[in-house]
Chains A and B, each alone.
Chain A
Amino acid sequence: MQNDQLALAQTRGSVDPRVKRPLPAWVSTTALLLPTYGWLTLAVFLPLLTMLAFSFMSATPMGKTPVEFTLKQYRAFIDQPYLLRIGFNSLMMGFWTTLFCAILGFLAAVALVRATVGKTREALLVLILLPFWTNGLVRVFSWTMVLRENGFLDNLLHMVAPDAGSISILYTRYAVVLGLVHGYLPYMILTCYIALVTIDDAIIEAAASLGARWWTILYKILIPMAAPGLISGAVLIFIPVIGSFMEPRILGGRVGVTMGTVIEDQFTQAFNWPLGASLSFTLLAVVLAIFATFSGILRRGTAG
């Protein structure tokens, strides 16, 4: 509408011979939208389309084998039933990581909003963002130092209880989830923080004046009101986590076989790009199906 008014103003002005004839509105609109859509096409749609094309091929189109159109790549889950178990484990890994991130992240965000002011809050926010700025590989490897037999955690335990057996949770699913929670927690803290800072203090005070104790305020006021933050945090975490391959590989060892590592293997080890692509799209479809199922419930939960 602004554009139209602008164009209108220019049309009126065109009586003056010094003013150039205005361009039609659609030209400026297109020109303004072009960078956004151009970038989206280049960075998102084209690679995805290429991958989609790959997933229907019988072999990677770089060898000598003739390439044909086929749907067999999408039958992988039927042909190789062990993939079902891996897929399920990946979803569970995503579920637990998201759940722990949600609990820890929400409480951290509440503490950040409710208990601190000014400079302290800024300093804490920077500390929370630190995992983002450290190299992921370094971060994950340092966990192996902590979790392995004779590692930091083990030594700490033996300092307290010398007779205790050796603990080593390295190369277990716990270690994988731990590493993932560490890496992805900041997303949840930030999304929850943004949702929580907008809540007026008076609302919490009103609840307290009506007789609500802290836990009632937490689950009757803060969680429902910050639900959009929790949901966007969960989406931001769940999707990359079920496709993650670095943390499972380094911290999970033998048990760390996930959809992420299987897909990565197809591209880097087995050189079977079509299978890797079809597995990626299957995973994407499953994730979208999960979100489609839950979005209705979530939307009802956050109405208002």
Chain B
Amino acid sequence: MTNVKVKSVAKTYGPIPVLTDISTEFEEGSFTSLLGPSGSGKTTLLRIIAGFIKPDEGIIMIGNNDVTNVPVWGRNIGMMFQSYALFPHMTIAQNVAFGLERRGIKGEAARKEVDRALEMVRLSGFGDRTPKQLSGGQQQRVALARAIVIKPSVLLLDEPLSALDRRLRQEMQVELLRIQRESGLTTIFVTHDQEEALTLSDKVAILDRGRIVQIGEPETVYERPLTRFAAEFLGDSNFLSGKVENGAVRLSNGTVVRSDSALPGNGADVTLAIRPEKMSLATADSQPNRLSARITTVIYAGPVLSYILETPDGLPLKLFAQNRDGRVLREGETVSLSWSPEHTIAVAN
């Protein structure tokens, strides 16, 4: 159990910067997700921490050790891959024992450790089978057992659940979280699935073009996005842009919108982000911020209704409503939307 520190790490491939000045700390026993679109550098960062890629600049610390120049095999990491990467010519028990053997643990002692690890991932009694005889989910659990049995300093997960189908993935998320909590391993998890990141993590780091644009607890990152990218990538957002006027924002169509966020001085351009589920259809006791819009598309998804709307001046908006009274609005209807200044977040472009 140790923390991991990344200090001013940079990496370029030829002329293309993949990571630019990344500095962050992964706290002891925490579960952190690196979230970003492909090409954002999240996998590169994970592979630099693992030791598969050498950074051009910067330092990697695992605990109190500077491991920047330590090769992969000397870093004591547990790693899971999207493709499971089990050794196909070995039995499940041999797979799990592989890392123990490298540490000189053999015979009875190794057998006990292997049994314990397989029990932890609920695969007791599967030791004599080969990877081919197991389902995808079972194989990934073997990979997890193989990674944690060596008591690694840090657990690195490279999109381990992406290859599984939806139901299995949710099952594995629960398993993964349980095992992470039981083992108390510092875990870094790369994913492009925002829901997965929010569900599993103590902290979410959002990466965009080689930079961490925001890192924090899932609620903070979701409720208070710092940039337009963060607001757009993690969940959905409606964006309104305008100019600051007397502590409020005047949109180009003249509507004045209030926000609890700290706003720049009079006359400055500002972008506001509002989550679609924070908007509601206006009633008598509605919030101060209002806009009227025409419904262009209705998506009926059972418990949730999604409306896609357009303001008279052509601004697209989204609204998510709970299906509380079974009443569904029609396409073409014009409605009035309202939302609170608290949920109106000023974001950097």
Chains A and B belong together in one complex: yes
Instruction: List A residues at the B interface (Cβ < 8 Å).
Output: 200, 202-203, 205-213, 216, 220-221, 224-225, 302-304
Q: How far is the CB of B43 from chain A (nearest CB, A)?
A: 12
Write out the residue numbers on chain B whose beta carbons fall within 8 Å of the beta carbon of A210.
73, 98-99, 102, 146-147, 150
Q: How far is the CB of A205 from chain B (nearest CB, A)?
A: 6
Going nearest first, the 4 A-B pairs with the smallest beta carbon separation are: A211-B102, A210-B99, A202-B85, A206-B85
- With A216-B102, A304-B88 already in contact, the answer to whether A205 and B76 are too (CB < 8 A) is no
Write out the residue numbers on chain B whose beta carbons fall within 8 Å of the beta carbon of A220.
98
Q: Please measure, in the bound complex, the distance between the C-alpha atom of A206 and the C-alpha atom of B81, giving whole angstroms.
A: 8
Write out the residue numbers on chain B whose beta carbons fall within 8 Å of the beta carbon of A206.
79, 81, 85-87, 143, 146
Write out the residue numbers on chain A whose beta carbons fall within 8 Å of the beta carbon of B150.
210-211
Please determine whether A211 and B73 come into contact, CB atoms closer than 8 angstroms. Answer: yes
Write out the residue numbers on chain A whose beta carbons fall within 8 Å of the beta carbon of B272.
none
- With A205-B52, A205-B81, A304-B130 already in contact, the answer to whether A213 and B73 are too (CB < 8 A) is yes
Write out the residue numbers on chain A whose beta carbons fall within 8 Å of the beta carbon of B324.
none
Residue of B nearest to A224 (CB): B89
Please determine whether B89 and A225 come into contact, CB atoms closer than 8 angstroms. Answer: yes
Please determine whether B130 and A202 come into contact, CB atoms closer than 8 angstroms. Answer: no
> Within 8 Å of chain A (Cβ to Cβ): is B197?
no
Please determine whether B72 and A209 come into contact, CB atoms closer than 8 angstroms. Answer: yes
> Within 8 Å of chain A (Cβ to Cβ): is B2?
no
**Which residue of B79, B86, B103 is within 8 Å of A209 (Cβ)?**
B79
- With A202-B83, A209-B77 already in contact, the answer to whether A302 and B89 are too (CB < 8 A) is yes
Please determine whether B98 and A212 come into contact, CB atoms closer than 8 angstroms. Answer: yes
Write out the residue numbers on chain A whose beta carbons fall within 8 Å of the beta carbon of B132.
304
Please determine whether A211 and B89 come into contact, CB atoms closer than 8 angstroms. Answer: no
> Within 8 Å of chain A (Cβ to Cβ): is B78?
yes
Q: Please measure, in the bound complex, the distance between the C-alpha atom of A260 and the C-alpha atom of B173, giving whole angstroms.
A: 65
Write out the residue numbers on chain A whose beta carbons fall within 8 Å of the beta carbon of B86.
203, 206
In chain B, residues 189-234, which have Cβ atoms closer than 8 Å to a Cβ of chain A? none
Q: How far is the CB of B239 from chain A (nearest CB, A)?
A: 39
Please determine whether A203 and B50 come into contact, CB atoms closer than 8 angstroms. Answer: no
Write out the residue numbers on chain A whose beta carbons fall within 8 Å of the beta carbon of B78.
209
Q: How far is the CB of B339 from chain A (nearest CB, A)?
A: 46
Please determine whether B89 and A208 come into contact, CB atoms closer than 8 angstroms. Answer: no
**Which residue of A207, A211, A225 is within 8 Å of B103 (Cβ)?**
A211
Q: Please measure, in the bound complex, the distance between the C-alpha atom of A103 and the C-alpha atom of B99, giving whole angstroms.
A: 27
Please determine whether B72 and A208 come into contact, CB atoms closer than 8 angstroms. Answer: yes
Q: Please measure, in the bound complex, the distance between the C-alpha atom of A210 and the C-alpha atom of B82, giving whole angstroms.
A: 16
Please determine whether B102 and A212 come into contact, CB atoms closer than 8 angstroms. Answer: yes
Please determine whether A207 and B98 come into contact, CB atoms closer than 8 angstroms. Answer: yes
- With A202-B81, A216-B102, A304-B130 already in contact, the answer to whether A209 and B87 are too (CB < 8 A) is no
Write out the residue numbers on chain A whose beta carbons fall within 8 Å of the beta carbon of B143.
206
Write out the residue numbers on chain B whose beta carbons fall within 8 Å of the beta carbon of A207.
87, 98
Q: How far is the CB of B22 from chain A (nearest CB, A)?
A: 21
Residue of B nearest to A214 (CB): B73
In chain B, residues 138-187, which have Cβ atoms closer than 8 Å to a Cβ of chain A? 143, 146-147, 150, 156
Residue of A nearest to B91 (CB): A304
- With A208-B73, A209-B77, A211-B103 already in contact, the answer to whether A225 and B88 are too (CB < 8 A) is yes
Write out the residue numbers on chain A whose beta carbons fall within 8 Å of the beta carbon of B74.
211
Q: Please measure, in the bound complex, the distance between the C-alpha atom of A225 and the C-alpha atom of B131, giving whole angstroms.
A: 14
Please determine whether A200 and B85 come into contact, CB atoms closer than 8 angstroms. Answer: yes
Q: Please measure, in the bound complex, the distance between the C-alpha atom of A274 and the C-alpha atom of B150, giving whole angstroms.
A: 66
Q: Please measure, in the bound complex, the distance between the C-alpha atom of A203 and the C-alpha atom of B99, giving whole angstroms.
A: 13
Write out the residue numbers on chain B whose beta carbons fall within 8 Å of the beta carbon of A202.
81-83, 85
Contact sample, A vs B, 30 pairs, CB 8 Å cutoff: A200-B83, A200-B85, A202-B81, A202-B83, A205-B50, A205-B85, A206-B79, A206-B85, A206-B146, A207-B98, A208-B73, A209-B72, A209-B79, A209-B156, A210-B102, A210-B146, A210-B150, A211-B74, A211-B76, A211-B102, A211-B103, A213-B73, A216-B102, A220-B98, A221-B87, A225-B87, A225-B88, A225-B89, A304-B90, A304-B132
Q: Contact string, B92-103, partner A, CB cutoff 8 A, digits 1/0?
A: 000000110011
Q: Please measure, in the bound complex, the distance between the C-alpha atom of A42 and the C-alpha atom of B132, giving whole angstroms.
A: 42
In chain B, residues 112-148, which have Cβ atoms closer than 8 Å to a Cβ of chain A? 130, 132, 143, 146-147
Write out the residue numbers on chain B whose beta carbons fall within 8 Å of the beta carbon of A216.
102
Q: How far is the CB of B62 from chain A (nearest CB, A)?
A: 13
Q: How far is the CB of A31 from chain B (nearest CB, A)?
A: 38
Q: A206, A212, A220, A224: which has the most chain B beta carbons within 10 Å?
A: A206
Q: How far is the CB of A219 from chain B (nearest CB, A)?
A: 12
Write out the residue numbers on chain B whose beta carbons fall within 8 Å of the beta carbon of A224.
89
Please determine whether A212 and B73 come into contact, CB atoms closer than 8 angstroms. Answer: yes
Q: Please measure, in the bound complex, the distance between the C-alpha atom of A209 and the C-alpha atom of B220, giving whole angstroms.
A: 33
Residue of A nearest to B130 (CB): A304
Q: How far is the CB of B131 from chain A (nearest CB, A)?
A: 8
Q: How far is the CB of B142 from chain A (nearest CB, A)?
A: 11
Q: Please measure, in the bound complex, the distance between the C-alpha atom of A111 and the C-alpha atom of B82, giving whole angstroms.
A: 25
Q: How far is the CB of A197 from chain B (nearest CB, A)?
A: 15
Q: Please measure, in the bound complex, the distance between the C-alpha atom of A220 and the C-alpha atom of B95, giving whole angstroms.
A: 11
Q: Please measure, in the bound complex, the distance between the C-alpha atom of A205 and the C-alpha atom of B146, giving whole angstroms.
A: 13
Q: How far is the CB of B117 from chain A (nearest CB, A)?
A: 13
Write out the residue numbers on chain B whose beta carbons fall within 8 Å of the beta carbon of A209.
50, 72-73, 75, 77-79, 147, 156
